[in-house]
Amino acid sequence: MNEEKIRQFGAELQKIEAEIGTVIIGQKDLIRGVLTSMIAGGNVLLEGLPGLGKTQLVKTIGKVLDLEFSRIQFTPDLMPADVTGTSVMTKNSKGEMGLEFRKGPIFSNIVLADEINRATPKTQSALLEAMQEHTVTSGNTTYTLPEPFFVLATQNPLESEGTYPLPEAQMDRFLFKLDVAFPTKAELLEIVTSTTMGSPREANKICSQEQLLEMRGIAKEVPVATPVAEYIMDVVLKSHPDYADAPEMVKKYVRYGASPRGAQAIMMTARVYALMAGRYNIAYEDVKAVAKAALRHRIFLNFEGMADGITADQIIEALLI
């Protein structure tokens, strides 16, 4: 790959970030994290307090990237068929009866799974096949979802009543888990001013679906040197308390560590960070830049860790030393 292609990749991504930033005030790290995951082809779990613009961010990204957008409000009474679709009995022009599959809102480019942890485990599991295989199976027929396809899910970290924690298998399907930070005083003032005076600004289309898929293809070509690849494997292996070289903090506080998907997530997204930095190779700083978002939902603390107030981010910091 030549330098011109790398430069174009970085310039295109900067244009996308800038356009999103005209609607979403602040949250630069969050915007970059979501875009990195999408270019790498993964799903994102957004966790933050209500009113921080998680839904608006997803809608804005859909407009800027010219992607078909659908929103599913997850509630306890939501059924799997409300997500994937269902077969209904229909009559054709000849009067013959038959089953016809009516597609659900999952058949879109970007699916916003709003407050995903409010749905029952049965409904949550309806997303598993779509998130991993990009297909939906109804009866004996498998339907392919449109490409590109992403699930961007939100959840509230505070409320526990009426919620169902996501199972580990589903958490592992998210490439990134991103924390939505509360705005600073200056950002809060700008948000309140811009949303209470006149009409809110609408984002413009900057990138097409084809360009996004092309950027994904470019990122997949970025090579990784053997020492860097081994460093990624060491980080993931050391997250397991029964691993001989695991840090004492891991052995004391971790119930079980990251899966192989954690290593895949780091390598896929570190490639994007390398290109954004104008390099055609993954460096150690790229790995460190994406490690928390890639692993924080894949490391599970034991009772002692939770009682002592240890966070997954603290564990990851110990792994990166």
The number of beta carbons lying within 10 Å of the beta carbon of residue 268 is 22
Q: For residue 280, is pLDDT > 90? A: no
Q: Which residue has the higher pLDDT, 59 or 284?
A: 284
What pLDDT score was predicted for residue 121? 84
Please tell me the distance from the alpha carbon of residue 244 to that of residue 267, in angstroms, as a whole number.
23
What pLDDT score was predicted for residue 160? 58
Torsion of CA 89, 92, 96, 102, to 10 degrees: -20
Residue 169 CB partners (closer than 8 Å, separation 6+): 128
Report which of residues 202 and 210 the model is more confident about: 210
- 178 forms beta bridges with 46
Within 156-238, strands assigned E span 174-179
Is the confidence at residue 159, as pLDDT, over 70?
Answer: no
For residue range 209-231, what is the model confidence (pLDDT) as tens digits?
888 888 898 898 899 999 999 99
- Look at residue 44 in the predicted model and tell me its pLDDT: 93
- pLDDT at 96 (0 to 100): 75
Q: pLDDT digits over 103-112, tens only?
A: 889 999 999 9
pTM: 0.87
Measured from the Cβ of residue 309, the count of other Cβ atoms closer than 10 Å reads 8
Domains annotated on the chain, with CATH: 1-208 (3.40.50.300), 222-321 (1.10.8.80)
The residues facing 114 across adjacent strands are 73
Binned at pLDDT 50, 70 and 90, residue 316 comes out as: very high
Residue 247 burial (CB count, 10 A): 18
